[in-house]
A and B are shown apart, each in its own frame.
Chain A
Amino acid sequence: MAGIYDKLSNLDRRIIFILIALAVIIPITTDLVIPNIVGQEPSRDLFEFVDSLPEGSIVIVSFDYDPSTMPELQPMAEAIVRHLFRDGHRIIGMALWPQGASLGQDAMSAFADSLGRAQYVDWVNMGYKTGGAVTIARLGTSMRAVFPTDRDNVPWDDIPMLRGVNNLEDIDLVISLSAGDPGIIHWVMMAKDRYGTPVGGGCTAVSAPQLYTYLQTDQMVGLLGGLKGAADYETLVGLLEGEATKGMSPQSVAHIVIMLFIVIGNVTYFMQKKKGGAR
């Protein structure tokens, strides 16, 4: 018996790698479906806030992430953009991370045509701006100063949907899809706490626990945390075949496998300790 514990404690990490890979591959190839249930989560709060906006509201969607977190945040971006377009809102896309400008363009242009939304009338991508919190502070006094042109060099004055938009006070909601710094925290600090614009958002699962503090204080109207948040939003929007919703099955299996690893690791540890061989 002791031999088994020794073998387990010295297990080649590549075996663990293979098991994790299989935990993800098998549910995908077998089309395993575990329905996602949306409880009283902050993702529902965000959905309900967006749903309550009057038609034609102007929403900033800030794509503050890069490809390293794309599997978590891109499905959120697509579900939110779809929801906003479907309900007749106007989107000002922007990015505090350079690569977010391209990912945001991809998310917005993917649904615009099929939902009959025209660029520069219903949506615009203002592109990337450096500066993080300082840039948001300036948006609070003049958006035109920060965005003299959009991502493709079209001047602010030539964009019909921006007529009447001067600063953050003219914005009905800011949604930041954030992978870290700069991101949601800075939007809360500047847009919400300084200029009073409601802020919601989506973030990587890693940063979600920290942002719960802003929910209890109403500094945020709602939050999508990681793939679960994305899947919740897809479910609420009615995107039942969405990337995140499909991803929840392999995610479930992988979680169970990792938990088993932890349990086996602990059993091994305690058995070896009992025999006086713990390291």
Chain B
Amino acid sequence: MNWDMVGIWLGALTTLFLYSFLYRDNPFYKFAEHLFVGMSAGYWLIYSVFNVLIPNWWDRMLPEGGGFQWVWLIPGVFAVFMLARMVPKIAGLSRFALAMIVGTGAGLNMVTFFQSNALAQVKGTIFSVATGGVWSVFSSLVLVVGVVSGLVYFFFSKAHTGMTGRTASVGITILMVAFGASFGYTIMARISLLVGRVTFLLEDWLPTIPRLFGIGG
């Protein structure tokens, strides 16, 4: 059996099943949708076992050279606690695991977001003030005014009236330009995905139809 051809047909059929939704919701779409969810979950689970749990936990707890590294029992127990959520009587145990995840994430995020997304951005804005040509100075000015007025717009502890209101109004204007750019990019992203699938159907799958029926060699 030509497994490459089978693979292309499997991909094409599931693609067409999903596109049938464009006409209306139907059993073909539902079939493919449910299959996708199940297979994706299976994939995720297997990769977590083979790429994370076995090398990063099991092999360390029970190394090849022998012995039992008991300290690795701790994260294992915490991971099992996570599953306790499925059993109402012991669901409270899952809080221990959740607390560890949330605490670690919060500690890391607090410093890194402040460093990269606040301080570095403020610094970048201050140092953007250019000394080049007129256009460069104008651009720097737009950047600085845009960031400051945008931040004023997000500052709700003071009523947006008077000077604050006028600055916030400039902020909204800059934000509108940014959101417009985001919209333009979003359109591009969605169309790109469609181009990818249509290319697959037209260039990979369609040529297999004559071959399947023995036409054109």
Q: Give a binary string over A183-225; 1 marks a CB under 8 Å from any B CB, 0 the rest.
A: 0010011101110000000001110111001001101000001
Contact B199 A134 (CB under 8 A): no
B193 touching A226, Cβ below 8 Å = no
Name A106-159 residues within 8 Å CB distance of B.
127-130, 133-134, 137, 146-149, 151, 153
Contact of B51 among A101, A243, A254 (CB under 8 A): A101
Min CB gap A130→B, angstroms: 5
How far apart are the CA atoms of A251 and B193 in the complex, in Å?
A: 10
B194 pairs with A20, CB closer than 8 A = yes
Given A130-B48, A148-B59, A217-B124: A205 in contact with B192 (beta carbons within 8 A): yes
Residues of B within 8 A of A228 (CB): 188
Interfacial chain B residues near A151, Cβ < 8 Å: 51
Chain B interface mostly helix, strand, loop or mixed? helix
Among listed B86-94, B104-112, B208-216, interface-contacting one: B104-112
Residues of chain A within 8 A of B197, CB atoms compared: 71
B116 & A29 in contact (Cβ 8 Å cutoff): no
Q: Does A255 contact B187, Cβ atoms closer than 8 Å?
A: yes
Known contacts A98-B48, A134-B104, A209-B182; A70/B121 CB under 8 A: no
Q: Which residues of chain A come closer than 8 Å to B189, judged between CB atoms? A: 69, 72, 204-206, 226
The yes or no answer to A14 lying at the interface (CB within 8 A) is yes
Bound state CA distance, A24 and B197, in angstroms? 10
Q: C-beta contact mask, A3-26 vs B, less than 8 Å → 1, else 0? A: 000000000001001001100110
CA–CA, A138 to B52, complex, Å?
14
Contacts of A89 in B (CB 8 A): none
Secondary structure call for the A interface: helix
- B188 and A251 form a contact (CB under 8 A): yes
Which residues of B have CB within 8 Å of A213? 121, 124
Structural contact, A14 and B47, CB atoms closer than 8 A:
no
From B52, B185, B193, name the one whose CB has the most chain A CB atoms within 10 angstroms: B185
Judging by beta carbons under 8 Å apart, are B55 and A153 in contact?
Answer: yes
A147 CB contacts on chain B under 8 angstroms: 55
Select one of B44, B52, B109, B199 contacting A247, CB under 8 A.
Answer: B199
CA distance in complex: A208, B187 (Å): 12
B188 touches A205 (CB 8 A): yes
Contact count A vs B, C-beta below 8 Å: 148
Q: Residues 131-152 of chain B: 1 if any A CB is under 8 Å from the residue's CB, otherwise 0? A: 0000000000001000000000
Nearest B residue to A130 by beta-carbon distance?
Answer: B52
Known: A134-B104, A194-B112, A251-B195. A216 touches B128 (CB 8 A): yes
Nearest Cβ distance between residue A3 and chain B, in whole angstroms?
27
Q: Judge if B60 is at the interface, Cβ distance under 8 Å.
A: yes
User: A42 within 8 Å of B by Cβ?
Assistant: no
**Are A226's CB and B192's CB within 8 A?**
yes
Q: In this complex, what residue of B is CB-closest to A137?
A: B108
B188 to chain A, nearest CB (A): 4
Closest to B198 in A: A24
Given A14-B23, A72-B193, A206-B186; A188-B116 close (CB under 8 Å): yes
Establish whether residues B55 and A149, one from each chain, have CB atoms under 8 Å apart when the complex forms. Answer: yes
Cα distance A74–B175 in the bound complex, in angstroms: 31
The docked-state distance in angstroms from the alpha carbon of A127 to that of B51 is 6
Q: A17 near B47 (CB under 8 angstroms)? A: no
| B52 interface neighbour in A70, A99, A128, Cβ under 8 Å | A128
- B47 in complex: contacting residue of A128, A134, A153, A247, CB < 8 Å: A128
Q: Is the CB of A98 within 8 A of B47?
A: yes
Residues of chain A having any CB pair with chain B under 8 Å: 14, 17, 20-21, 24-25, 28-29, 68-72, 98-99, 101, 127-130, 133-134, 137, 146-149, 151, 153, 185, 188-190, 192-194, 204-206, 208-210, 213, 216-217, 219, 225-228, 243, 246-247, 250-251, 254-255, 258
Residue contacts A-B, CB under 8 angstroms, 20 given:
A24-B195, A25-B202, A68-B193, A69-B189, A69-B193, A128-B47, A148-B56, A148-B59, A148-B60, A149-B59, A189-B113, A193-B115, A205-B186, A205-B188, A209-B181, A217-B120, A247-B196, A250-B198, A255-B187, A255-B191
Q: Beyond A69-B189, A254-B191, A255-B187, list 20 extra A-B contacts (CB 8 Å).
A: A20-B194, A21-B198, A24-B194, A28-B195, A29-B202, A72-B189, A72-B196, A98-B51, A127-B50, A127-B51, A128-B51, A129-B51, A148-B56, A189-B117, A205-B185, A209-B182, A210-B182, A250-B195, A251-B191, A254-B194
